Amino acid sequence: MSRGFGSQLSRRERQIMEILFRCGEATAAEVLEALPDPPSYSAVRGLLRILEEKGHLSHAQQGARYVYRPTQSRRTAARSALAQVVQTFFGGSVEQTVSTLLSDAETRLSEEEIERLTALIDQAKERSAEDV
């Protein structure tokens, strides 16, 4: 059963998920080849099995090999993980989350990014006004 992408993933599990999101699907051998400082082939197969048990992956058999793919899109997984971070570290406050990101001295936004964020804030204002 899936615990959501907000559940704890090890460094290797995150690396494997990144590979599968990037490729769409891959065999254990393809994942092994794409991993930095790769563990053994059997370790990769074990990690794929664990990710499948957690509900993050599914597989299809193609001949003698299994082809793995994420069970949800990167966007859906990112939303789930972000929702858990917002709840855990910011008490569910979107304002505190965004404020923390923007107040970081290393955060640099282009004019285009600022325009897109401003448009999103305007849309959020309109939705809030409709709810009143």
CATH number, domain with residue 43: 1.10.10.10
Which among 101, 104, 7 has a CA at the least distance from the CA of 53? 7
Q: What are 11-20's pLDDT values in tens digits?
A: 999 999 999 9
**126 falls in which pLDDT band (50, 70, 90)?**
very high
What pLDDT is attached to residue 5? 60
pTM score: 0.73
Spatial separation of the C-alpha atoms in residues 110 and 83, rounded to whole Å? 25
Domain hosting residue 118, numbered range: 93-131
Looking at the fold, whether 81 and 108 belong to one and the same domain comes out as: no
Q: How far apart are CA 35 and CA 29, in angstroms?
A: 10
Question: What's the pLDDT score for residue 9?
Answer: 87
Structure confidence by residue, pLDDT tens digits, 18-73: 999 999 999 999 999 999 999 999 999 999 999 999 999 999 999 999 999 999 99
The total of structural domains in the chain comes to 2
